[in-house]
Amino acid sequence: MVRKICGTVLVALALVLAVSCGKDAKKAIDDAQIALNDAKDAGAPEFAADEYKSAENLLTKARDEYEKRDYKPAKADALSAKEQAELAKKRALDRKAEQAQKPKEEETSVAYNVPSLGEQEVPIEEQARAALKDVNFAFDSAELDDLAKEILVNNAKWLKDHPELKVQIEGHCDERGTEEYNLALGERRAKAVRDYLVSLGISPSLMSIISYGESMPLDPGHDESAWTKNRRAHFAIVK
Amino acid sequence: MKKGIWLGICLLLFAGNIPAQESGQAQFIVISKAPKKARVAIPVFKVKALSVESFALGEELSDLLGKDLQKSGLFELIPRESYLRSSQITPDVEDWNAWSILGAQAVIRGEISEFSPGQFEITLKLYDVLVQKAGLTKIYKGPKASLRRMMHRFADESIDWLTGKRGGFESRIAFVSNKTGRKEIYFADSDGFNSMQITDSKKLNLSPAFLDDSRLYYVGYERGNPDLYLIDIFSKQKTLVSGQTGLNISPAVGPAGKKLAFSMESPGNNLDIYIANPDGSKLQRLTFNPANDLEPSWSPDGHYLAFVSDRSGSPQIYFIDLYRGSEADGNYPIRLTLKGDYNTSPAYSPDGRYLAYSRRIGGQMDLFLIDFMSEDKKTEVQLTSTPYNEEDPCWGPDGRMLIYSANPDGNYDLFMISIYSKEPVRLTDWASDETQPVWSQNLFERGG
């Protein structure tokens, strides 16, 4: 009888212990997850990839052990995962800061090289971005209105001055209508622009077209002002 | 047989409420189009577990089963608060009277036991209250990760028991999401859970279409051009199916995965529909028209192909008889949609009875059905009518439900709708846009 009671008590104790161990392990895992999230926010996957990966792996291992109710190793691994995540975060922050300083140094050295001339030469991509304006369209239309044609005449002038450049004309749509139909519509818009530029004397071999449909809006909004901006043909320099 | 029993139940219940001499009318009501929802009670499942966490499974899994049944539009869930006290726990002897009082036609009891850590056995019984015995008994065994799937399977079985045709909840879905900032293809359970990213090109990826139980087609921009790929969902291995410069879009898989239809640019610089073998070989041009033809959908017998064309000036839905050659042979497509100035995304139902599509009304897209079995063979049914967009409908394998994407909160999420109840049910509530869902006609034996 007494033995039976003892046995019961022991089993109960073991149960309580097991449950409490489980709780500790669970908490350690949760903490590690938080540390890992922090590291991720700090840019660890990019700047301290190895450390981050190792933290991730440890956490996965801890989770597996927890699932198998191996609470002790689960807790130990979770704790190491947390340490590793904290390390990843610290290194990521350090390296980020380092990188942020680097371009500044380069900039100063460039400025030092051309001290007297003052104005720097603007890279051709930037010139193109400023010179080649977007063309906008009406809903479900690929027709060029007078404003669009005027813009394209100016774009053509600039392209003629830069015959060494190849451009890609991107056709875009607003979010209304279906993805597939908008892919076709974007293609039609890009073609309309290309064909008009050909009529202005630009060689078709210098231009390629692509449709992105509704997938790359300029303005992520959901109103008419966003849609007007998103129904466009855009010029990109092909390197 | 099952159907027979159910019909009998409906009849008896109805007969109980009206004078006997009018029971002839009851038959008429029973065969009306939209089935009356069956009232079902699903008390919280009983749990015998080895760990504390597992006890929550009783409620979680019974709720999950209830959600599936409710989604189907065929069942009405009796809220647990209204149960009589004798019905709350699993009794040795079921109190049939207590269930009859609540108007329950079916009661589903479940017993979950964790026979070794992380390994479960679930016994599920669907009781027919009228005949007072189990009409369906299933025992499932498996690890914790498979529990949700067991519930989807039992929901499908319950729908089979009620209607003679399985549900489609155990099958999986694929869709496009820009969660990462770029549109990528995802794969998930039919309720949006267990989602898994399939493509990771960090460019645009669009228009998934299942080929079989392990592969799907999609449109990817990784070469800087919208090309058509076939990818293995589990190994992530992909092959280029069509990579002509310009658009290679709108993949649609024919019956039994034997043929592929898609849209590609023809020499005239417009989109036409092409038919090919699943690997892209033996390419044949189907439409010959200077307008854009896209978004093909196969009738289940492979006889017809519905598609969108803007040959009339606006996007409209047409169909073509595939047994009569291409458009160049004088086999001209016939226009199906005559109302509205923007009709897209045709989708034949797996039984061929309906064609679902989306139409723009007042600047917003709504879902519609054409019923080919109606008296005039073309009666239209409006499924949704909201101040926001419903797009890209795709049928579930049972032909009674559609999955689609809609933007009630500005961003697009996935929804399901039963064509009987017409009640939309939300699947995803992510901050990003989830679009172009497709519901596989297959079950997936591989993967988690």
pLDDT by residue (tens digit) across A109-132?
A: 343 343 444 456 778 888 888 899
- Among residues B342, B348, B304, which one has the least CA distance to residue B323? B304
Q: Judging by DSSP bridges, how do beta strands B238-242 and B284-285 pair with one another?
A: unpaired
Q: Are the Cβ atoms of A178 and B224 closer than 8 angstroms?
A: no
Using a CB-CB distance cutoff of 8 angstroms, which residues of chain B are in contact with residue A222? 407, 410
Q: What are phi and psi of B341, to 5 degrees?
A: -110, 10
Query: What is the pTM assigned to this prediction?
Result: 0.76
State pLDDT tens for residues B281-329.
999 999 999 999 999 999 999 999 999 999 999 999 999 999 999 999 9
Is the CB of A179 inside 8 Å of chain B's CB atoms? Answer: yes
pLDDT at A5: 58
Q: Are the Cβ atoms of A215 and B204 closer than 8 angstroms?
A: yes
* Class of domain B172-439 as given by CATH: mainly beta
Q: Are the Cβ atoms of B271 and A187 closer than 8 angstroms?
A: yes
Taken in order B83, B84, B89, B90, is the CA torsion positive or negative? negative
Domain spans in chain B, listed from the N-terminal domain onward: 1-32, 36-163, 172-439
- Pick the residue from chain A with its C-alpha nearest to B365: A177
Can you identify the CATH homologous superfamily of domain B36-163? TolB, N-terminal domain (3.40.50.10070)
Per-residue confidence of chain B (448 residues) as pLDDT tens digits?
444 444 433 333 333 333 333 333 333 333 335 668 999 999 999 999 888 888 899 999 999 999 999 999 999 999 998 888 766 666 667 888 889 999 999 999 999 999 998 899 999 999 999 999 899 999 999 999 999 999 999 999 999 999 999 999 999 999 999 999 999 999 999 999 999 999 998 899 999 999 998 999 999 999 999 999 999 999 999 999 999 999 999 999 999 999 999 999 998 789 999 999 999 999 999 999 999 999 999 999 999 999 999 999 999 999 999 999 999 999 999 999 999 999 999 999 999 999 999 999 988 999 999 999 988 888 999 999 999 999 999 999 999 999 999 999 989 999 999 999 999 999 999 999 999 999 998 876 654 4
Mutate to test the interface with A, among B206, B314, B366 (most CBs of A within 10 A): B206
Task: Say whether B52 sits in a helix, a strand or coil.
Answer: helix
Q: Strand pairing partners for B356? A: B347, B369
Closest CA–CA distance from residue A228 to any residue of chain B (Å): 15
Interface predicted TM-score of the whole assembly (ipTM), two decimals:
0.82
Rounded distance between C-alpha atoms, residue B388 and residue A27, angstroms: 44
Mutate to test the interface with A, among B201, B292, B316, B405 (most CBs of A within 10 A): B292
Return the half-sphere exposure (C-beta side, CA atoms, 13 A cut-off) of residue B325: 7
Residue A100 corresponds to which tokens in the numbers above?
């942020």
Q: Smallest Cβ distance to A68: which of B117, B265, B358? A: B117
Largest Cα–Cα distance in chain A? Answer: 105
Is the CB of B435 inside 8 Å of chain A's CB atoms? Answer: yes
| B367 within 8 A of B356, measured Cβ to Cβ | yes
Is the CB of A80 inside 8 Å of chain B's CB atoms? Answer: no
- What Å distances lie between residue A33 and A9, A87, B104, B179, B350, CA to CA? 36, 14, 45, 21, 45
Q: Are the Cβ atoms of B358 and A178 closer than 8 angstroms?
A: yes
Q: Smallest Cβ distance to B344: which of A178, A188, A216? A: A178
Is the CB of A215 inside 8 Å of chain B's CB atoms? Answer: yes
Distance of alpha carbon A185 from its chain centroid, rounded? 26
